Amino acid sequence: MSENPEVKGGAVPYVMVNGALKAAEFYQKAFAAQIAASMPPDDKGRTMHVHLYINGGSVMLSDPFPEHGHPAKEPAAFTITLPVADVDAWHQRAVGAGCASTMAPADMFWGDRYGQVKDPFGVEWAINGPIKA
């Protein structure tokens, strides 16, 4: 684990969840995440920063810190999209790890295969890739 890992991707989601370290461990199972760096938890068990690599890109996590102007909020109005080669395999692994399937993989009108899951931390993930012949 590097102290200052490379940030990968053009737009990097920074997601606040209750239990950032637990979420990072879960994402290792659900999305084959690698922990690039993480801050140690404070005396309340909260983590200020976790840097993950998922599918070739960076995703950042933190716990809420209301005393610093970052109160807990329900994740809403966004979806993290994973462009992958095998939508069904990614969807199956995520569901097997504990995500809820909110849309089973299907061939879509725009020419891709697409499915969605919701993780136990409330984050919606879209899994998108090519239709297999």
Matching fold, domains 14-66 and 80-130:
no
Angle at 45 between CA 54 and CA 9, to 5 degrees: 20
The domain defined by 14-66 folds into 3.30.720
Domain residues of the chain, as ranges? 14-66, 80-130
**Residue 47 · residue 62 · CB < 8 Å:** yes
The answer regarding whether domain 80-130 maps to CATH 3.10.180.10 reads yes
Q: pLDDT tens across 14-66, in order?
A: 999 999 999 999 999 999 999 999 999 999 999 999 999 999 999 999 999 99
Q: Could you give the CA distance from residue 88 to residue 62 in angstroms, rounded to a whole number?
A: 29
Tokens (6 digits) for 63:
């716990």
**Mean model confidence pLDDT for the chain:** 94
Taking residue 117's Cβ as centre, other Cβ atoms within 10 Å add up to 26
Token pair for residue 39? 């801050």
Mean pLDDT of 120-129: 96
